[in-house]
Structures are given as structure tokens and as C-alpha cells.
Amino acid sequence: MTDPDGEPEPYLTVAGEGGSYFEIRGSEFTGHVAPARSKAAAEDYINSVRGEFSGATVIPAYRVRVDSGSGYILREYQDDHYEPTGSAGKPSLNVLVQQDLENVVAVVARYYGGTNLGIGGLARAFSRGVKEAVEDAGVTEARPEKTFGIEVAYDDSGTVRGILESEGVDFEGDYQERVSFTVTVPVGDAASLKDRIRSATSGRAEIEADT
């Protein structure tokens, strides 16, 4: 996952949210996929789908990059929920593995139709739900990212916000007595962005360590 210069290499992920729907012998399957930059983001997405499909069996799977401090590792997760062991979570995760997708979460909701599909039938159905949702979302190449915090006095907040907007990075601002920004930026761009903000604020900006 790292090039010879030490910078993490680009990876494949879904281009956005995607979905799928089909019926098999009365059971309804609804697939969902979305990008997820962290375990927390993946679990939030799973919970949102679970809340939308009350009464359904909800099968989650995700693969998320985690910075271990000495490099990036993949954290993988899947759960069969109330389906037979090995019939749902693992087939769903396998689709993400086979397509080499990272920072992605998949969820398939199933409403039981009254006819048992068997372990093999369930495995094919849940993997289909993820595969078709991925096809709907599309696949893209992404650059590894870092998140860090910036805290400044209110008078410097406009300068910092202008820099962040001009760079086109993702950020959130919290305007209290002092202003805090949470910034997510490609790994290779983090150092130069921090230097630009320090220079523009004459060193007044407090920049947190990467997380």
C-alpha cells in the first residue's frame, strides 16, 4: 500500500452511494454501498440503513483503511445478523475483497418471503445485492487521506477558511470563542497545507497532530 517514497498508494473505492433491489421466492433484497473513511463512518451508515428497514434482516460488511502509525492496514468486518452462519456476511464481504475495494461499506436488507432459500441460495443473494449496488455506484480511484484539527482566533478564521476553500479540501468549522476546523486532506498534500496556514496566520494557528 506504500510507494517507494513512503507515500500510501491510491486505492479503489466506490464513487458514491449505490443501491440494488430484487426479489427471490418472495424474499425482498435491498443492497446499499457507500464510501466510508473510518470505522465510525461505516457503522453510522449501517445504523442508518438498519433504521430505515425496520423488521428486516440487515447484513453489514466493510473494509476501512486504518493508519496504524507505521503504515496503513485494512480493517474488515462482516456479520450474519440472524441469517445462518456463513450465508450472508462473508459472501457480502467477499464481493468487496474480490473487487479490491477499500474505505467502503455495504449493507443488504432482507425481508423474509416465507420460503427458505438455503445457505447457498442466501449466499448468492447477498453477494448479488452488494455486487449490483457496487455496479450502480461505480468504482473510482482515491488517494489516502489524513484528518487534522486547526484552531484559530476568530480574526484569523476567515483567512483559514479561505485557504481551505481554495484548496478544495473537505472541512467542518466550529465557531465558538475560538474557531476550530476539522480538515480531511490527501496524505501527500497535508504538509504543504499546514505550512500555508501557518504562514498566512504568522504562526498563530494551532494545528493538531494527524489522526
The boundaries of every CATH 3.30.230.30 domain in the chain are 11-142
How far is Cα 148 from Cα 36, in angstroms, rounded to an integer? 17
Alpha helix (H) residue ranges in the chain = 39-52, 89-98, 118-137, 154-167, 187-200
Q: For 43-92, what is each residue's pLDDT tens digit?
A: 999 999 999 999 999 999 999 987 666 667 889 999 999 999 999 999 99
| 72-85 b/e (C-beta count within 10 Å ≥ 16 → b) | beeeebbbbbebee
Q: In this structure, are residues 72 and 7 in contact, taking their beta carbons and an 8 Å threshold?
A: no
Q: For 82-116, what is each residue's pLDDT tens digit?
A: 999 999 999 999 999 999 999 999 999 999 998 99
CATH of 145-207, one of 3.20.20.70, 3.30.70.240, 1.10.150.20, 3.10.20.30: 3.30.70.240
The boundaries of every CATH 3.30.70.240 domain in the chain are 145-207
**What CATH superfamily is the domain 11-142?**
Impact, N-terminal domain (3.30.230.30)
Radius of gyration from C-alpha coordinates of the chain: 21
